[in-house]
Amino acid sequence: MGSSGSCRKDLEAMKMVTEKTHRVFRVIEIKEDTRLADVETYWDWLVEVKLPELTKELLCPPVCHETIKGINCTTCKKHAMKCLSLKTCYPDEMDILDTVILLACSSALSIVAGGILCATEFRRKK
């Protein structure tokens, strides 16, 4: 996926967040008994849940490969950002190093167990 694909995805995500924010503010405007706490609750949800979710979606594999161009909201400029590691994106999943270590340990254990069984059988046959 080229930079135009990631830019399109950035724009779609930004449009979705903007539409959701507009709807929430419209509901707050229509309801006369709405308190300022409702805006705070929505803002907390946006900052703590939705934006990190969208960020993770864009900065994690398979969408992101090494670097991706992103928009810095503070400066309104595009810049390259490094993708998040697999451990950061999927903490419960094993990465390739963990898999190799697990396979090496289980293979070594199988060889040792096979050697012990073979030695035991050889001594019993004598």
Give the pLDDT score at 2.
46
Q: Residue 77: in which H helix or E strand, if any?
A: strand 77-82
Question: Based on the domain organization, do 18 and 73 belong to the same domain?
Answer: yes
Residues 100 and 72 in one domain: no
Claim to verify: residue 40 and residue 69 sit in the same structural domain = yes
- Taking residue 50's Cβ as centre, other Cβ atoms within 10 Å add up to 16
Q: How far apart are CA 85 and CA 70, in angstroms?
A: 17
Range of the domain at 66: 3-85
Same domain, 98 and 70: no
pLDDT-derived band at 101 (thresholds 50, 70, 90) equals: very high
Residue 4: the pLDDT is 54
Residues 98 and 37 in one domain: no
Do 52 and 105 belong together in one domain? no
How many domains does the chain contain in total?
A: 2
Residues 59 and 79 in one domain: yes
* C-alpha span between 121 and 4 (Å, rounded): 66
The whole-model pTM stands at 0.45
